[in-house]
Amino acid sequence: MKVVPAIFKLDTIDPADSVEFCPHPAASNVVVCGTYKLQQADPECSVDIQDVQEEPFSVGQKRTGKCLAFEVANGDQLNQIQEISLPAVPDMKWCHRDVSVNPVLGIADSEGNVSLYEMKIDDSLRIAPSHVLCLSLDWSNRRTPSSGLGSLVVSLSDGSLALLVPGQSGLSPEHIWHAHDFEPWIAAWNYWDINIIYSGGDDLKMKAWDIRSGFTQPVFTNKRFDAGVTTIQSHPFVEHLLAVGSYDNTVRLFDARKPLTPLTQVDVGGGAWRVKWHPSKKRKDDLLVACMHNGCKVIHFNLTGNGLAEGGEVIQHFDKHKSMAYGADWSYTEENTNQETLVASCSFYDHVLYTWRA
């Protein structure tokens, strides 16, 4: 396993928990970082929130955040180009759109809002009361960029999922339903069949939902996890393949047709908070993982021609984060033949954003 050096380090001032590179060809040099600051209820109190609150995503506290936008300069340096003040930002996702239209960023915040930002146009949509956190979000059109918006699924801290669909006036909630008994940390689309939504939660369950069948019962429920399910991503180049991460330090690959038994699994040495498949088909076997207390890692899987996985191993480890690494993403910029891909990652209590290559 190769230990990867840092290229660039930046202090985000406030705790950082989400990183997303823009997939739009005209803006692939743009990366955004979300921050999440827990405010002390008593300004006279001198206790560090880290000492009393290990888990930053619990409810009942005041939270503030920002979306920090950067431009990649000189190949791997970051220059800040914009700062947007918001409630705390648990998750962000770019909508994959046609080259003829501007890129759009969706932001989930800690006061029940989903905000959309398109160049000089921005919009905010309340889908839950202000005490409910929007924990994660995912766009349906990852594999089919278009001039419009895809549908959006959002997970909420009260155990619900929300389906937002595009219309003439933008996105609007079509259905909100109870999905998990505890926080659903992740909601994600099946990019190959956008009738199917996956969710994972602190109730140790992964579920699937068919939007054509109503939302009273999931298509399946996988209860075979030893800790909360934190992250799910459908493979953009391999049909039926899902990467799933958990607090139990394990990344599992599933065949969506047989979702109760993993094809293979890899111990990453820390809670797997985010998984990201490489955006290039040439590197479809590589998965980036934000491993909370154990930095960030790249897993190389041996994917067969029919999309099955015969095993995987950690090939690279970025260990510079001294706090919980929550955010990580690959750049969409095509590199030279032998050049590794630019990666950005961030961590919480030390409020640091790094760039490195993997």
Distance CA 259, CA 151 (A): 24
Number of CB atoms found within 10 A of residue 229's CB: 28
pLDDT 10s digits, 11-31: 999 999 999 999 999 899 999
pLDDT 10s digits, 106-150: 999 999 999 999 965 678 899 999 999 999 999 999 999 989 999
Convert 127-146 to b/e letters by CB count within 10 Å (16 or more is b): bbeeebbbbbbbbbbbbebe
Average pLDDT over the chain reads 92
Distance CA 72, CA 357 (A): 13
Distance CA 155, CA 168 (A): 24
> Averaged in consecutive runs of 10 residues, what is the pLDDT profile of the chain (358 residues)?
95 98 94 93 39 49 94 92 96 95 96 88 86 97 93 98 92 96 98 98 98 95 97 97 98 97 97 98 96 98 78 96 97 83 97 98
What pLDDT is recorded for position 119?
Answer: 61
What pLDDT is recorded for position 338?
Answer: 77
pTM of the model: 0.93
Residues 88, 177, 274: CA angle, nearest 5 degrees: 45
Token pair recorded at residue 182: 């505890």
Distance CA 305, CA 58 (A): 42
What pLDDT is recorded for position 260?
Answer: 97
Distance CA 115, CA 67 (A): 11
Token pair recorded at residue 81: 């180009």
CA–chain centroid gap for 45, Å, is 33
3-state secondary structure 62-130: CEEEEEEEEEEECCCEEEEEEEEEECCCCEEEEECECCCCCCEEEEECCCCEEEEEECCEEEEEECCCC
Which ranges constitute the DSSP H helices of the chain? 49-52
